[in-house]
Structure 1
Amino acid sequence: MSPQPAAPCHRTVPTVLALGAWLKNRACLCQGSQVQWSAAHGDLSDPAACAALRQSALELIERAHLAGAPVAALAHDLHPDFYSSQLALELADELGLPAVAVQHHRAHIGAVLAAHGLDEPVLGLALDGFGLGDDASAWGGELLWLHGPHWQRLGHLQPLALPGGDRAARQPWRMAASALHACGHGEQIAARWGAAVGAPQAALLQQMLARQLNCPPSSSAGRWFDAAAAALGLCLQQDDEAQAAVALEQAAQRALDGGMALPDLPTPLPDAQGRLDLRPLWLALHQAAPTTAAATDALAAAFHLRLADGLADWVLQARRQRPVRGVALAGGCFYNAILRQRLSERLQEAGLQVWLQTEHGCGDAGLALGQAWVAAQEHAAATAAQVQRLETTKENEPCV
């Protein structure tokens, strides 16, 4: 681990150690104008990765102490079951320090702001697979506003049920069935998916969705990509992370590279509650029923472009209510080059600056920097408020 020049987490805040996410874990020490990263530990489902994270955290704490700027706070994900969260609380208790829980998507946008040294209000679009929301539900398609320690969730993607909970993320056909149910055609699930996954399993899932049994909602963009890939028959079950989304992007890229004519799919529109509704776009994709590989690729490309256009319109609508100079894009879905480029072009054409995090990618590997940035912003705000209270108290003291 070696110090790396980076934008300061905040001008006046002390050292913060952030312990990162569950996936692609990496810890980060934000110390004045320097950022020190731990090695990449991988996913914390592996006990060896957990042990490595603990060792890295202890080493970073010692380094901060030896440098004369000891750790003043530990930052971690909002999810209480993550080992990184539990370790942060354990170390904070041992050291007598505050532990700051940071919502996952707020941290994603915070990482972009920290990486670019931004100290201004921004809109943030965070698209990924999962992050616990401050309402205890599964988030993953979030439109945020941030300015220093202040933030607000302005909107989110239309939620989909996750039939079977976490299992739905491993079986994209479940997400396609969920989307079909969300579009008001749940009675078609057994007939549509029975041949592919087995009639009993498809019928059971249809009943689960109808009765909302073990079907928690999620606003995740990643799950909508899964639903689209399954609807086109590109991936019904995935063995690797983002396998369905990658298959969908590859199909789309083939169509774009070949200059194919693309079908006319509807652009998603936000509703009165600020939710971007992807159901009409997905239903048009599902009902297209392509019969050739080329037609499948063309639909995949049209899905990408219309989704990007809908996201751009959503951000620009929010900008009319919250004037800002630019927008930060973050989350693993932005590894998708088609989505990233189309959306960036649309936003830039409308006069918005677009910022992304690049050093550790747009996904969870760079999340710790955002956790540290948020904790630093909150510490600075709390310190300023305390100073203001003391000054007010002194001003109101009677003269003797």
Structure 2
Amino acid sequence: MMITILLIGAYFLNQVDCVCYDQSPFWFLEQPRVESLYDDEGQMLSNKVRVIWGKLYNFKCVDYFQVEFFQKLDPANTVKLTPRIDRFMRHQDIDVEPCTEYTFKVEASEDYQGKREDFKAHSGLVSYKLDYTPRFMSMPSVKELKIRKDRKKPHRPRRSYGWGSDRDWGWAHQASQQNTQQNQYGANTYNNNPYQYQPNNPMRTIYNNNNNNNAYDPYGQHNQGWQNDQKEGEEGEGEEEEEVKEPVMIRVSWRMAQIDYPTCLDYFVLDYYDMTYNESTFSRTLNSPFPKSKPIQVDIHSDTVPCDPEFRHILRVFGLTGAETRVNWTPPSCVFTTPEPTSTKSPDGSSGLGQAETLDALLEENDQLKAKIEGLNEEYSKIGLEVFKAFTDDFMQGLEAAVEGRHAKKANETDSDY
């Protein structure tokens, strides 16, 4: 009887896990590893990694896990420990800073329920840096600025009308003698007239009659940039001038706050890219350091990056790993949109249905169109019935003729066709 009881007890003991005796040793059989996480669209998560651990020796004694991690360059001030993790879990997701190297280790613990300090076993250390490529959280600003022309005008000397200083009186006296001499001989015989119009001479109205060099003539040799009104009839009537777009200065600007993780940033590249030949015809690189409080802005002449459907305006953001993300910086004048459909007029010049001035007129026209469509439906239905009736009559006549011929053939018992 005693032997039977012992055998039954031994059987039930085999069905139950062995008891974990006091401070039974356990340890990790595999080194933990760290992996990056991705969203549903395949984009890498910028601030989260997954720590994974494997098998342990004497796992039955483990009650919970924890993960300890810290930044490798500043372990004293960045060390963190996760809450308790269920003993059957084999991974834990942890929030980290991208482009910063971390060190991780996993702790397996046996819970003594406060009676004494829990027994712990640590895995080996593993380092990992989340190589993330920064991206724009909002689009950069693109503006078109008018190019400022040089407003500095040439120096205009003060006019003199024969009064004021003695020098002005003397000059006016010499000019009057010259005019007198010119009138006396009927023409100006002095080709090298020192008092003829000069840029620095205060009198601008004296000119050479023989050479017809008017100081205000736009085609004269003394033209200083003044433009006369265009005379009527100089251009052919009916000619349409092409609208020429004035060049502008394209200003592209953004702030570092628009980048999700500036610590992962290396440099920017403004690119004007040819999609046909896969090459850049204009490229400008902006290297660090970048201002934190002021915007980053670049001015580009529109002639350098003209509007072309086969070209793309690309702003590339390069990370520390050499990978890149990109956004467009298309100037407003280069945004191609589908033009609105133009309304057509009837040959007699009358307006179409869409030219009704009031809603009541539109509704009335709509009712008229419905009435016309219903009338056409009735007419076509009548025609369809007549066609169906004629087809039915022909079919029935053919069927009756075929039946009569078949009966006649049987009656005569002939092999000839009808």
After TM superposition, the score normalised by the length of structure 1 is 0.19
After TM superposition, the score normalised by the length of structure 2 is 0.18
Which has the higher relative contact order, 1 or 2, with Cα contacts under 8 A spaced 6 or more apart?
Answer: 1
Greater fraction of residues in strand: 2
Greater fraction of residues in helix: 1
* Structure index of larger Rg: 2
